[in-house]
Structure 1
Amino acid sequence: MGGPPLLTIRRAQRRFGRRVIFTDLDLDVPVGARLFLGGNNGSGKTTLLRCLSGTLTLSAGQATVGGHPVGSLPARRLTAVCLAPEQGLYEQLSARENVTLVARLRLPRRAVRAAVARVEAELDLAGYATVPVQRCSAGMRARVSIARALVAEPALLLLDEPGRSLDEPSRLLLWQALDRRPELTCVIASHLADDRDRCRSALTLPSRR
């Protein structure tokens, strides 16, 4: 993959006790790349994404986002995470309030309203924007989670099985939103052939026993 790397991984390893999840990963992911992360269930895709997000530490090696160690404050500011697309929302808040909360934390106040309106339109949230997410279907919740990840225009987006709860029209909305952001670097763990076809590069993690 050509171009300057946004995400760099060097000799990365993660183990739980004696069980090695992945080891000796070396990778440069350029700005604007779409990297498909494949592998069987249990191969470590979610674990790797968690390590890149900073919610789990590497057992060995290192990874950086924009030159900053993953998990550091500068790296977190560049990174948006959607590891369980239909989970992790504030149940009592509406779809719009969930998205607005992230926007207020990460954007200047004057930019919040326009940013929220943009992702609402992109992911077709208007029909249930004011509905508490506890009353939303799994597919609706997934779209809210993706909107929340995109609202602050991150440099790196980590997606774990984004199509798990999305129907075909909703998956199209997701990819159209990504295509509008050519500078956004994405790492997408998925089992869907369509997701792989939309990515220019792929990394398949081997299964380990």
Structure 2
Amino acid sequence: MAMANNKTLCFKCNEDKITYPCKGCSNEFCFTDLAEHKQILNDELHTITNEYNEFKQTINKQKQSPQNHPLIKQINQWETNSIEIIQQNAKDCREAVIKLLQKSINDIEKKFNDLSEQIKQIHKENEFNEINLSYLTNQLIEITEELNNPSKISIKEDSQSCINEISIILSKKPEFNKWKQNAITVAIGNGRGQ
């Protein structure tokens, strides 16, 4: 009586041997290759477990220090850049006002010197009346007012922003599905699965 032939081709070594099915990938393996196949699966599980643990550490880091998140860093950079723009704009405006004030003071000083000469002349000639005194008083009031409030110089704040605006945009949250218990996962070859 002949022995029944229960040998089939091994998926891995491609030889006719007694094989054992793998329910995960639905392939048949000889005893030796089945052990190797299980080791590959164990290695992949180990890799996934390591990646899971690394991801868990990343989550914990972000929970403990949310200020280190790239979005917060981006906001901080925007703040720094905006402050630099404002400081540069303020510096330029200060320099412009100082130049204009110096020119205005020089002009006022010339008017004052002219007025001073007129006063000296009146003293020297000793001829004056109420009209002359009123004129001198008004001139002194005018140049004092011009010194304290230069009419040609003013500050205007633009309603348009001098810096780039920043806002937070919340897009629709992606939905993640849980793995289904009865799904089939296919892995081919000796490398990591996709």
Task: Please confirm whether the aligned pair reaches a TM-score higher than 0.5, indicating the same fold.
Answer: no
Larger Rg over CA atoms: 2
> Relative contact order (alpha carbons < 8 A, sep ≥ 6): 1 or 2 greater?
1
- Structure ranking higher in helix proportion: 2
- Structure ranking higher in strand proportion: 1
TM-score, normalising length from structure 2? Answer: 0.19
